[in-house]
Copies of this chain bind each other. A is one copy, B any other.
Amino acid sequence: MNSTSSAGSPDLLQELRNALRQFAAERDWDQFHSPKNLAIALNVEAAELLEHFQWLSDAESAAIPPEKQIKVRQELADVLLYLVRLADKLDVDLAVAAAEKLDLNATKYPIDKARGSSKKYTEL
């Protein structure tokens, strides 16, 4: 994946970052948005997302009923919003970071070794 491929186009993550900056500024919330607090919020939302799949089989988790889908969708959004806000506070460009990490993962998990295996790269 080319980490510069989105340059020059309207970037959704940047739009979202800007919208969240304004949202926080209007409410005087920057005082609460330390990276530590945002990382906590991210974890709380991630766990609320996980709760929807708790006790389900893998197959059931892939076929959740419509009313649950709406909630899951909102939890996914919450995770993204806090992630974008946290990255902003840490001056991290999420798009570049994700592209770099994907490249790194390709090195850690070479196709021939990783195929069909769920082992951690340290155990491959």
Residues of A within 8 A of B (CB): 1, 5-6, 9-13, 15-16, 19-20, 23, 26-29, 31-32, 34-37, 39-44, 46-59, 61-62, 64, 69, 72-74, 76-81, 83-84, 86-87, 89-90, 92, 94-95, 97-102, 104-106, 109, 111, 114-118
Interface centre among A9, A78, A79, A106 (most CB of B within 10 A): A79
- Say how many copies of this protein the assembly contains: 4
> CA of A42 to CA of B48 in the docked complex: distance in angstroms?
11
CB nearest neighbor in B for A42: B46
B6 touches A12 (CB 8 A): yes
> CA of A1 to CA of B31 in the docked complex: distance in angstroms?
23
